[in-house]
Amino acid sequence: MSLNDITDVKIRKLDGTGNVLAFADITLLGLYVVRGFKVMSGENGPWVSMPSQRDKGGNWRDSFFPLNKDARARLTGTILEKYGLLAPPPARSQGAEPSADDAMEPVDDL
């Protein structure tokens, strides 16, 4: 799977009170939609859970999954990148001085 195969990513953010931060759907090749990815909160930051459903034994099984680590990294990276674009910046602690990273870039008038 190349990044060009993922032609769209839709993110639905949640209120942030649980481990699920957002739901994501992807479009592959502009032809297929895969729904049910979850952006989850983890100790090392957000991660992506694959779409899954319960089997007859009551166990959860991924219903869509990459076949190798490289494909998984590209898929989850694309979803997390889109989630990151929608996520609010981390809140600055009260009374903290602005850093150089907080400075706004000048904008040229058109």
What pLDDT digit, counting tens, does each position of 1-56 carry? 555 788 899 999 887 678 999 999 999 999 999 999 999 998 888 999 999 999 99
The model's pTM: 0.72
Angstrom distance (rounded) from CA 70 to CA 53: 24
Residue 14's pLDDT is 87
CATH number reported for the structural domain that contains residue 73 in this entry:
3.30.1120.40
Q: Please give the residue range of the domain that contains residue 14.
A: 3-51+62-86
Residue 52's pLDDT is 94
- Examine residue 105 and state whether it is found in any structural domain, yes or no: no
- Examine residue 26 and state whether it is found in any structural domain, yes or no: yes
Split into its structural domains, the chain has a count of 1
DSSP lists the bridge partners of residue 23 as: 12, 38
